[in-house]
Structure 1
Amino acid sequence: MKILHTSDWHVGRTFHGVDLLEDQRAVLDAIAAVVTELSIDVVLIAGDVYDRAVPSADAVQLCNAALEKIRAAGAIIIATPGNHDSATRLGAGAAFTGAGGLHLRTCVADIDAPVVLSDEHGEVAFYGVPYLEPEAVKTELGAPAARSHQEVLSAAMDNVRKHVLDSGDRRSIVLAHAFVVGGVASESERPITVGGVETVAASVFDGVDYVALGHLHTPQVVSERVRYSGSPLPYSFGERDHRKSVWVIDLGADGIESIDQVHLPLIRGLSEVTDTLEGLLTSPRYAEYEQHYVSAVLTDEVRPMDAMRKLQERFPHAVHLRWDCPRKLATVSYSDRVRGQSDLDIARRFFEDAWTDPDEEHLRLVEQALAESRQEAAKLRA
């Protein structure tokens, strides 16, 4: 049996305010193409299918189209929710979709009720562990004292292992959405919990043949049988050098025979560039980034006016801009910096820090305004 492990599609996510639906459509089409090319039997989606609990109509339409293409390519699909999805909404209609080859494992009660598929070597049990919020699920899992992700996932996996043992000699796969110790986070994951301990030990997942993890967006190997596929697209500039991929697992009679990493196409590059506005607009060395998502750091002495509009004339997908003034402010408090200075001196410093060196006309107008302000204040006191 050939199994493809993916996760963290985050369908409907934006990138610095830019709609990513077309990028997501392209990369999910690429996953469907891998299913066809490699004759994949089962596709696992380990959580965060959508980016939010209530996805937009366009996001739902795109996701449904992607699932239909994967199913049409010949693969059974098994998906679980992550910390971004709504388990209830993702699982709506699960009793019916399973008959069509889309198995949505979204309920705590179904953790020890696997999807069972067969190949020439016998049965394979796929256990879907949805994202578990400790306070919400501890009682249902029979662990009322549990407070951490480690404790509730341990309780969930105890149920899985018991079912594996009770079911006899068959191969077993687990899908889960968690932050496992040894995994490396990137900038685009949002915290999986508020307060408490969010990480879990890899040993929690002992006793099964393979663990398909979701949550961390970088493809990585926690252990030979415990892996993150990562997200199919980069969702932060910190991921601009990541090569996105899926894992393809070849399951034989005695368990895993091989695991291959299959790279996904880069839909649009991400680049960070640092220069003056004029340099970014004219230098030929930035030509290769013109169709990338661009984050620009400007080093002009004076903050340029209308900089983003000008940047987007050359880099139409520029999405982020920061001015890094070469004249760094001293690392002391504002009150210490201005102590003993006159109002005019403070105004001069404000011009220098926020704009440019003031000329005499600027200072004359400021001094006039300060004098008028003092006069008004004196009238009020009188």
Structure 2
Amino acid sequence: MLEAQRDFVDQLVSVVEAKTIDVVLIAGDVYDRALPGLDVVKLLDDALVRITQAGAAVVLTSGNHDSAIRLGFASRLLERGGVHLRTRVEDLDVPVVLPLGSDRSSGDVAIYGIPYLEPRLVAERMGVDTANHFDVTLAAVDRIRRDVEHRREAGPVYPVVLAHTFASGGITSDSERDLSIGGLGAVPLDLFEDFAYTALGHLHGRQELAPNVRYSGSPLAYSFSEAKHHKGAWLVDIGAGGVVGVEEVLWESPKPLAILRGPLEELLASEEHAWAEGAYCQITLTDAERPAQAMERVRSRFPDTLVLAFDPEGGESLTRTSYSSRLAEAEDDLDVCCGFLEHVRGRGSGDAEEAALKEALETVRLEEAEL
């Protein structure tokens, strides 16, 4: 999906330029793994250069997919170029401060970053007795609140928080990893009620949990559970007094997602599905017997089929016995092989297949006899 990601970056930079954006907030899951590919790292490098060249600063936190240490490398140097990384517990209460006016009488916007906090790894460092998501997030928020109170002694401060977490009320999709092991990972929404705005990362669906708490979602769909998502971002306008307005920004997807279901011949012939010929497809075949060369035939019409499943309707395949039972009843090696074919694909072997299997088994028998 590298080309689709490049297309998204093009759209993002265009919005930054057209709307004269001051700062771009990225709330974690920059990569999809701790050791990303070289092409992906280069793409992020290009994106950060282009965003800052377009006139915007960047504040970026690490997510549960990222390696916080690797992503945070050279953070002090990058800050000189307008890229502010927040990947360490030590930086939770170190905001990026942007003045609202030239004389600072209007106040400052203070942007704090809460990276993904793995409770078992950070609880002790944060002075938390119980290693769970609620307690470590509460400790992080308390640090930020104390810093905001201190800064307000010198004038108005409008705190903005970006956090990579699962806030209660958010709707999940299949693409996110569970943020907890053996316990509830969600944190209550009211943890963020004291802030002018909270930009959340982790869930892939763009959604509003409260007027001042939103998920931007992922810029692209990463599973078919996201087929109905409208991908985009939130453009937040902050002035004296706090948030002035929030506007949605939509990203165009290079290809739609299609979820199709039905017998193979019907899917290949029906004009109803013509729109899906250029889509990423998840297709479930409902034929009573699994068709031969199913993926090849499906891709002859839907070349970008990524997932092919089988859910037979009717036929004997719905009441197949276990393979171990078939093995116990097999009369000879040929019966074992034919039974295996029928078990895994839902239909028996044809005459040509049975003849090929018989010839192969005979060849093996003769080679063993020569030994």
Q: Quote the offset at 1:38 in angstroms.
A: 1.3
Matched residue type, 1:155: A
Corresponding residue to 2:133 among 149, 154, 157:
149
| Counterpart residue number, 2:24 | 43
Q: Does 1:261 align with 2:251?
A: no
TM-score, structure 1 normalization: 0.83
The whole-number CA distance in structure 1 between the counterparts of 2:177 and 2:236 is 28
Alpha-carbon distance change, 105 to 361 in structure 1, aligned in 2, over 3 angstroms: closer
Cα deviation per residue 1:78-111 (whole Å; 9 max; x = unaligned)? 0000001111111111101111011111110010
Matched residue type, 1:224: P
Write the mapping of 1:233-248 to structure 2, written as runs, cut at 5 A. Answer: 233-248=220-235
Secondary structure at the counterpart of residue 64 of structure 1: helix
Question: What are structure 1's unaligned runs of at least 5 residues?
Answer: 1-19, 367-382
Question: Is the CA contact (8 Å cut-off) linking 2:165 and 2:186 kept in structure 1?
Answer: yes
Secondary structure at the counterpart of residue 179 of structure 1: coil
Matched residue type, 1:298: L
Question: What are structure 2's unaligned runs of at least 5 residues?
Answer: 358-371
Corresponding residue to 2:45 among 53, 64, 69:
64
Q: Quote the offset at 1:208 in angstroms.
A: 1.3
Question: Is the CA contact (8 Å cut-off) linking 1:29 and 1:69 kept in structure 2?
Answer: no
| Counterpart residue number, 1:32 | 13
Question: Is the CA contact (8 Å cut-off) linking 1:122 and 1:170 kept in structure 2?
Answer: yes
Cα deviation per residue 1:221-280 (whole Å; 9 max; x = unaligned)? 111111101000011111111100100111010000111111111221110112322232
Corresponding residue to 2:67 among 86, 102, 110:
86
The whole-number CA distance in structure 2 between the counterparts of 1:295 and 1:128 is 37
Question: Is the CA contact (8 Å cut-off) linking 1:296 and 1:320 kept in structure 2?
Answer: yes
The whole-number CA distance in structure 1 between the counterparts of 2:34 and 2:339 is 48
Q: Does 1:137 align with 2:118?
A: no
Matched residue type, 1:29: D
Alpha-carbon distance change, 122 to 314 in structure 1, aligned in 2, over 3 angstroms: same
The answer to which structure, 1 or 2, has the higher relative contact order (CA under 8 A, 6+ apart) is 1
Matched residue type, 2:86: R
The whole-number CA distance in structure 2 between the counterparts of 1:184 and 1:71 is 32
Cα deviation per residue 1:301-351 (whole Å; 9 max; x = unaligned)? 33222221222222221111112222365679749998x98969x989878
The whole-number CA distance in structure 2 between the counterparts of 1:242 and 1:299 is 26
The whole-number CA distance in structure 2 between the counterparts of 1:166 and 1:236 is 44
Question: Is the CA contact (8 Å cut-off) linking 2:234 and 2:246 kept in structure 1?
Answer: yes
Write the mapping of 1:1-382 to structure 2, written as runs, cut at 5 A. Answer: 20-120=1-101, 121-143=106-128, 145-168=129-152, 169-326=156-313, 327=315, 334=322, 354-356=345-347
TM-score, structure 2 normalization: 0.85
The whole-number CA distance in structure 1 between the counterparts of 2:260 and 2:140 is 46
The whole-number CA distance in structure 1 between the counterparts of 2:352 and 2:108 is 85
The whole-number CA distance in structure 1 between the counterparts of 2:341 and 2:66 is 48
Matched residue type, 1:295: Q
Question: Is the CA contact (8 Å cut-off) linking 1:129 and 1:156 kept in structure 2?
Answer: yes
Question: Is the CA contact (8 Å cut-off) linking 2:218 and 2:231 kept in structure 1?
Answer: yes
Alpha-carbon distance change, 62 to 334 in structure 1, aligned in 2, over 3 angstroms: same
The number of aligned residues is: 348
* Range 266-275 or range 224-233, more displaced: 266-275
Alpha-carbon distance change, 32 to 350 in structure 1, aligned in 2, over 3 angstroms: same
* Range 289-298 or range 273-282, more displaced: 273-282
Secondary structure at the counterpart of residue 159 of structure 1: helix
Question: Is the CA contact (8 Å cut-off) linking 2:260 and 2:283 kept in structure 1?
Answer: yes
Alpha-carbon distance change, 362 to 191 in structure 1, aligned in 2, over 3 angstroms: closer
Question: Is the CA contact (8 Å cut-off) linking 1:51 and 1:85 kept in structure 2?
Answer: yes
Matched residue type, 1:160: I
Question: Is the CA contact (8 Å cut-off) linking 1:127 and 1:175 kept in structure 2?
Answer: yes
* Range 195-204 or range 276-285, more displaced: 276-285
Alpha-carbon distance change, 280 to 329 in structure 1, aligned in 2, over 3 angstroms: closer
Identity %: 41
Q: Quote the offset at 1:28 in angstroms.
A: 1.8
Alpha-carbon distance change, 283 to 331 in structure 1, aligned in 2, over 3 angstroms: closer
Question: Is the CA contact (8 Å cut-off) linking 1:173 and 1:211 kept in structure 2?
Answer: yes
Alpha-carbon distance change, 361 to 149 in structure 1, aligned in 2, over 3 angstroms: closer
Secondary structure at the counterpart of residue 272 of structure 1: strand
Alpha-carbon distance change, 358 to 156 in structure 1, aligned in 2, over 3 angstroms: closer
Cα deviation per residue 1:56-85 (whole Å; 9 max; x = unaligned)? 110001111112221122111000000011
RMSD: 2.9
| Counterpart residue number, 2:368 | none
Question: Is the CA contact (8 Å cut-off) linking 1:217 and 1:231 kept in structure 2?
Answer: yes
